[in-house]
Amino acid sequence: MRSLLEREWLSRYPYERHVAEVGNMIQEAINEETKSTAATVIRRVAIVGGTHGNELTGVYLIKKFEQFPTLLHRSSFEAIPLLANPAAVAMNQRYVDRDLNRCFAREDLSNPALATYEDKRAKEIAAQLGPREQPKVNVIIDLHSTTSNMGLSLLPSSKAPFNLRLAAYLSRLHPEVRVCCGEQCDQDAPLLRSLTPLGCTLEVGAIAQGALDAHYFQQTEQLIRAILDYIDANNKGQPPSAPRTLTTYQAIASVDYPRNAAGELDAMIHPQLQHRDYEPLFPGAPLFLTFTGETLPYPGETTVFPVFINEAAYYEKGIAMVLTEKQEITIPDGA
């Protein structure tokens, strides 16, 4: 039964109606093959936004979910919205003192000497959602945007079969969904999402920092709905059918910009590479362009698939792009 507010919302916005239809379809799409393997029961889900204060898609989706909580309601579990870094949001900056999404290493959370604003927020969030050993939520969905042309990218918190099945389901639902596994794709990563093994980061873009993009706002909300519907159906023993294989982009290395002795940039992303996230980069293909117009080719010997190309927030991290390998994996049974 939908609330009055939600019904009104659905009548006003046709895309929401489409999502509702998709939601009904997945309820009906019971796949006997995956039914026996999806025994994971989810009781609490955290939807997190504003981990980076200038990534407004997540910030405004959390505000919307706080205003219309029925949008997150499902009968078999509780979903809670969380604005992770309110001080950075108020300043429209990525962070106040340091990147909150690098503050969740085990040793940092247990180190009382670390007391920047973000270190304190990380400890509060870990107390609210964690700890890793016995988290208070089963699933964390962390909403981010990127200035790179990464479409709807899903970065699973681990390679648990549950995450991979969900990713395979979403990949089939939305052609723009791609699945990217970080170099550290487990709970040892210092990321907010690492508090639980189940869940993912959504990286959506290209979106400028400090700006909203209505198309991607709606796409991100649609993905969240699909995730919640999937979990609900899964909890009820009726997991929607999902492909048994999944294309993933496994991070293998990051590449910094060419820099001078003072650390200043010597080159830019080559125009032929700009916006080409997830496309093959062949050995010898243009990588960077110097300020005097010289093309610097990719020196690697194998074809790779770069992502986070020209991500604005990564200049300070010494990352011009992240190189991935494209892999086809078969999803194992189990949780």
Give least dist CB 200 to Zn ion, A: 13
- Least Å distance, CB 88 to Zn ion, is 11
Question: How many residues of this chain bind Zn ion (CB under 5 A)?
Answer: 3
Q: Which is nearer to Zn ion, 55 or 229 (CB)?
A: 55
Give the H or E element holding residue 88.
helix 86-91
CA distance 65 to 74: 13
Give the residue at shortest CB distance from Zn ion: 144
How far apart, in whole angstroms, are the C-alpha atoms of residue 225 and residue 25? Answer: 13
Whole-angstrom distance, CA of residue 138 vs CA of residue 186: 15
Are the C-beta atoms of 295 and 270 separated by less than 8 Å?
yes
54-93 residues in contact with Zn ion (CB under 5 A) are: 55
Q: In whole angstroms, how close is the CB of 316 to Zn ion at the nearest point?
A: 13
Residue 144 binding Zn ion, by CB under 5 A: yes
Q: Would you say 178 and 171 are in contact if contact means Cβ atoms under 8 Å apart?
A: yes
Given the rule CB under 5 A, which of 13-21, 39-47, 140-148, 290-298 is the region that contacts Zn ion?
A: 140-148
193 in contact with Zn ion (CB under 5 A): no
Applying CB under 5 A, the span of 85-93, 141-149, 179-187, 209-217 interacting with Zn ion comes to 141-149
Does 52 help bind Zn ion (rule: CB under 5 A)? yes
- Nearest distance from C-beta of residue 260 to Zn ion, angstroms: 28
CB of 265 to Zn ion, least distance (A): 22
- Of 47-55, 77-85, 172-180, 300-308: span binding Zn ion (CB under 5 A): 47-55
Residue count of the chain, please give it. Answer: 335
- In the complex with Zn ion, the residue whose CB is nearer, 101 or 187, is 101
The alpha-carbon radius of gyration of the chain (Å, integer) is: 20
- Closer to Zn ion by Cβ: residue 59 or 177: 59
Judge whether 230 and 304 are in contact, CB under 8 Å: no
Quick one: tokens of 188? 């040892």
- CA distances to 256, 267, 295, 319 from 292, rounded to whole Å, are 19, 9, 9, 22
Decide whether 85 or 234 has the Cβ nearer to Zn ion: 85
The residues pairing with 255 across neighbouring beta strands, listed in sequence order, are 321
Stretch that binds Zn ion, among 20-28, 46-54, 120-128, 254-262 (CB under 5 A): 46-54
Residue of 45, 28, 38 whose CA lies nearest to 199:
45
Residue 119, both tokens: 């270190």
In terms of CB distance, is 209 or 222 closer to Zn ion?
209
Handedness of CA 147, 150, 152, 158 (dihedral sign): negative
Q: Smallest gap, in angstroms, from Cβ of residue 328 to Zn ion?
A: 28
The smaller minimum CB distance to Zn ion, of residues 16 and 203, is found at 203
What residues make contact with Zn ion under the rule CB under 5 A? 52, 55, 144
